[in-house]
Structure 1
């Protein structure tokens, strides 16, 4: 049964999608109509601030806020300072009224605590300037998760989170972080002061979010048992290690955590290499080259900050980055709103590469090129081999978002310096937890320089409980991909046969198929995402309303999920998107694990509705 307007999809407390079951409901959501907005119990987490987070904001405002203020919550001082710096850049007239407050658990400091706790950093600002703060929340993906908010809310109400260094104040020190001016390059730690090298790892991804210690273990245990959910620090380290190994390809067991980790330890590097055939993920990828983030967008945002900082450290002037191909909306916004800006090649074609090469030959230079493989929602694949050649010749970094393709189906790492992915999507499948990853190609010439800079600035802000869910959900990742590939190809073929359909966008059905195939793994398919347009635009709402699958934002879910993507993502710029071949009436479908015959019937029934008088 399809969920009603505004209900969580799936029906769980931390769902990452929300039901907008009709075309009219999607338009109503964008228009802010009360009949939709008043029913919203949740939403996509970077666009809709979860009700638990709102409750925590309300509690913090009641204890520490001033009249006329709102607050936005972040997992660390650094991320809060980034938000504050954005206010200084975009709203300098009110910057003096933006203040920070840092809350910490009431636990004395030592190095022996074994329980996961959480700090909380609060940015207070004039209520009228909420849209500015919301840009940071949405585009950077750096805000706290709903599970962390649940944990902190209980701790705050019971008196176990207290301000550090007195009341919140406006600070000028934030300019050292995420500013346009010179940056400091200092050896960093996680937001909870966990040093590098813990548990033998080379960066601060080791033990998750717990305080640096406690002389009173009973007190820490009390907080954990009262407010936590099995958040033992050792277990938090294990689940994050397992996720990183799964992404690196060295952990493939669909089994319990300890068994899977043991199997990955016992499998030698040589044995793992022998299992990987030519054309698949690079053989020498290590979990030490995989970094976890709270969201996929935070991985992209961090990659953007990283390439700018690394270029600056080499003495290069501030230069624009390239956004190649029509991207997911927030990627372009990050490149435009932080740093020197972006050069947008919205079609991502060979002709665009020709133009870029001419400009490079004439002396123009760029910091990095960001692209998706394939793109969302047009499923186009750029010529990665040519992009790599240009990057090597003209000294820019290549960052590839592989979320839609995923590393089981494609291997873009040989052509990239950095590969990012939203683990919120098909990696987890359950649509109940956020996450992101950044992977270095350790064979590229800038690898060590990029990694050195990242290790100076990296914070492990991935909340331990979110990591627990991510690890559990991703155990059957490989087998789910295989089934979804088959289902999506079946649905794409069904749509392609309809006389009402104008275009089916699927990696195997678009002109850029040859570039996708060049990166396709030996056992890979074409993924679970497709888009469809109709000769008559008015047929799109009919088809959508009669498509008997869940309707809402997100993709890569184990259940099929659809949305009028352009309406949701670009409602205020529909004329602009059309110049890049993006139809405002496009329907995007993320195909799930259902029986392929049933999916075919569902699709055919929606098409039949178009033919009804």
Structure 2
């Protein structure tokens, strides 16, 4: 399977992939610079990155704007009124002074009597679209990028089709004093069927990309225009019917909690810093996570400073350092703050951090899923924490389950073999670490096993746990770095934790506009991050050896 076509989804031809191919160092720089030769070829993108909003979401937003918006307006689509309201508040607090009518929410609800038979009305959820002035789009996108609270691409695809078939229609939620003249609309007329009395044809706003076209459902209820990729997912994805969605979510919870420890079938069984900077009172950032940083924190606490919570990764991305989580726990108990640990990189088969945390969070998009085709996240509360009752009651009062049904089905399916995959990935990553460390032109390998903070990692490593599938490497010169990256025969794109090996120039993608800031924490501009997959170990080793040989030739010349 080829992963190396610029702009192709990773894996190829995957409609809801969470990575995209940027196969050369030059293409990564071009992506960050917004160069047309790169952006024009982007068929998909990492869902949380700045330059890309999934086409299914963008198409749906354009359709809503064309029907309900005004000239020079844009829309963003959310799964609940609470999230849409947070978005509106964000625009008002971070943007220029806005009149009430300039930012408004359109609520789309299931129609009482849809005229088609293809929609699962029990699954169809309400959709909330926020309309806002087009000049605020960059600010609006920062909310979407950092909060992660927009609709998923699968939900947008499903809801878009429902909207255009008349299964979703508007219910007004306009603020007091806003213009209420526009009437309910079921989408452009070419998508309406049966006895619709709406004779208005909504025209796309000038300059907007045309919305995605769907064919009419046939009399037998099948949908002739359904994308080929969707058929492939449903036919070969072994997905359960959507009526199983609550069981799927329960299985995922049990799997995370450790109740499911074998490969079983269901029938048997953030970017935190940016969020804290943009929302709330702010934060104190310790970019090294070192004992010196903890000394400074303890000094502040002794002088009377107080903090609500401490967030840390275990280990960190991309330097794979492990903080002294035992000392952090002692400080938290003494000074009364919460400890939230993100163990995505270590993953809960390798490390057991819950005893030291009040809450453990993880990106399920990564190795828990592995298939690079669905997003998700988890939060586990520690029942032994002194804050457990408070946190549990708060979640019970405020948490909204907005996880889209189809995404839950895919996540459950993908994670069935999670346990067995981790062992193979651990073995492969150690092998690649050894190959890289043995090469004379490799400057440094970042990996928990060879990290200066290994002792901190070992305190939390499970008896049968390994060191995870992520490592980073630097070389002695930029030409060597570029040669190695371009020659390496693996998939290359953002994200990590995939079942196939995936590499990226991490610092360029994550901190292109702040390279100097990243360097002060030891994150070099030329750092390459490697997420190791399930390939046969000897074959994977040979691929890395061939890339290293290319460096040797470069040095000789």
Residue 152 in structure 1 maps to residue 159 in structure 2:
yes
Q: Which residue of 2 aligns with 1:28?
A: 30
Residue 102 in structure 1 maps to residue 111 in structure 2:
no
1:69: how far off?
Answer: 0.3
Q: Which residue of 2 aligns with 1:74?
A: 78
1:66: how far off?
Answer: 0.8
One of 89, 93, 96 as aligned partner of 1:89 = 93
CA distance in 2, matches of 1:477, 1:168: 47
User: Which aligned pairs between 1:157-196 and structure 2 lie closer than 5 A?
Assistant: 157-165=164-172
Residue 57 in structure 1 maps to residue 61 in structure 2:
yes
Deviations for 1:503-561, whole angstroms, at most 9, x for unmatched residues? 00001111000000000001100000000001223211111001100000000000000
1:170: how far off?
Answer: 8.5
Q: Does the CA-based 8 Å contact 1:117-1:224 persist in structure 2?
A: no
Deviations for 1:473-530, whole angstroms, at most 9, x for unmatched residues? 0000010000000000000110001110110000111100000000000110000000
CA distance in 2, matches of 1:406, 1:170: 51
CA distance in 1, matches of 2:364, 2:177: 35
CA distance in 2, matches of 1:226, 1:24: 37
Q: Does the CA-based 8 Å contact 1:116-1:231 persist in structure 2?
A: no
1:46: how far off?
Answer: 1.7
Q: Which residue of 2 aligns with 1:124?
A: 131
3-state SS of 2:132 partner: strand
Q: Which residue of 1 aligns with 2:149?
A: 142
User: Which aligned pairs between 1:303-452 and structure 2 lie closer than 5 A?
Assistant: 330-452=271-393
User: Closer, same or farther in 2 for the Cα pair 1:527/1:376, shift >3 Å?
Assistant: same
Residue 480 in structure 1 maps to residue 424 in structure 2:
no
1:226: how far off?
Answer: 11
User: Closer, same or farther in 2 for the Cα pair 1:225/1:143, shift >3 Å?
Assistant: farther
Range moving further from structure 2, 99-108 or 476-485: 99-108
Residue 39 in structure 1 maps to residue 37 in structure 2:
no
Q: Which residue of 2 aligns with 1:205?
A: none
CA distance in 2, matches of 1:583, 1:460: 39
CA distance in 1, matches of 2:134, 2:450: 48
Deviations for 1:435-461, whole angstroms, at most 9, x for unmatched residues? 000100011001011110111111110
Residue-pair matches, total = 493
1:44: how far off?
Answer: 0.5
1:140: how far off?
Answer: 0.5
Residue 516 in structure 1 maps to residue 518 in structure 2:
no
1:54: how far off?
Answer: 1.0
User: Closer, same or farther in 2 for the Cα pair 1:82/1:448, shift >3 Å?
Assistant: same
1:231: how far off?
Answer: 8.1
Q: Does the CA-based 8 Å contact 2:322-2:457 persist in structure 1?
A: yes
Residue 237 in structure 1 maps to residue 242 in structure 2:
no
CA distance in 1, matches of 2:81, 2:242: 21
CA distance in 2, matches of 1:106, 1:51: 25
CA distance in 2, matches of 1:595, 1:31: 36
3-state SS of 1:594 partner: coil
Q: Which residue of 2 aligns with 1:17?
A: 19
User: Closer, same or farther in 2 for the Cα pair 1:122/1:495, shift >3 Å?
Assistant: same
3-state SS of 1:257 partner: coil
Range moving further from structure 2, 543-552 or 244-253: 244-253
User: Closer, same or farther in 2 for the Cα pair 1:72/1:479, shift >3 Å?
Assistant: same
What is the root-mean-square deviation of aligned Cα atoms in Å?
2.2
1:99: how far off?
Answer: 1.2
CA distance in 1, matches of 2:3, 2:388: 47
Q: Does the CA-based 8 Å contact 2:3-2:10 persist in structure 1?
A: no
3-state SS of 1:444 partner: coil
CA distance in 2, matches of 1:611, 1:3: 23
3-state SS of 2:389 partner: helix
3-state SS of 2:471 partner: strand
CA distance in 1, matches of 2:512, 2:252: 36
1:95: how far off?
Answer: 5.7
Query: What residue ranges of structure 1 are gaps of 5+ in the alignment?
Result: 172-221, 261-296, 298-329
Q: Does the CA-based 8 Å contact 1:2-1:548 persist in structure 2?
A: no
CA distance in 2, matches of 1:135, 1:522: 41
CA distance in 2, matches of 1:170, 1:405: 52
3-state SS of 1:343 partner: coil
CA distance in 1, matches of 2:328, 2:32: 36
1:257: how far off?
Answer: 1.1
Q: Which residue of 1 aligns with 2:117?
A: none
1:166: how far off?
Answer: 5.8
Q: Which residue of 1 aligns with 2:188?
A: none
Q: Does the CA-based 8 Å contact 1:567-1:584 persist in structure 2?
A: yes
User: Closer, same or farther in 2 for the Cα pair 1:67/1:389, shift >3 Å?
Assistant: same
CA distance in 2, matches of 1:245, 1:143: 26
Q: Does the CA-based 8 Å contact 1:9-1:15 persist in structure 2?
A: yes
1:234: how far off?
Answer: 4.0
One of 253, 261, 265 as aligned partner of 1:256 = 265
Deviations for 1:214-252, whole angstroms, at most 9, x for unmatched residues? xxxxxxxx8999999788664111100000000011123
Deviations for 1:388-429, whole angstroms, at most 9, x for unmatched residues? 000010010101101000000001100000110000000000
CA distance in 1, matches of 2:172, 2:549: 66
Q: Does the CA-based 8 Å contact 1:100-1:170 persist in structure 2?
A: no
1:463: how far off?
Answer: 0.3
3-state SS of 1:336 partner: helix
Query: What residue ranges of structure 2 are gaps of 5+ in the alignment?
Result: 114-119, 179-220
Q: Normalized against structure 1, the TM-score is what?
A: 0.78
Residue 573 in structure 1 maps to residue 514 in structure 2:
yes
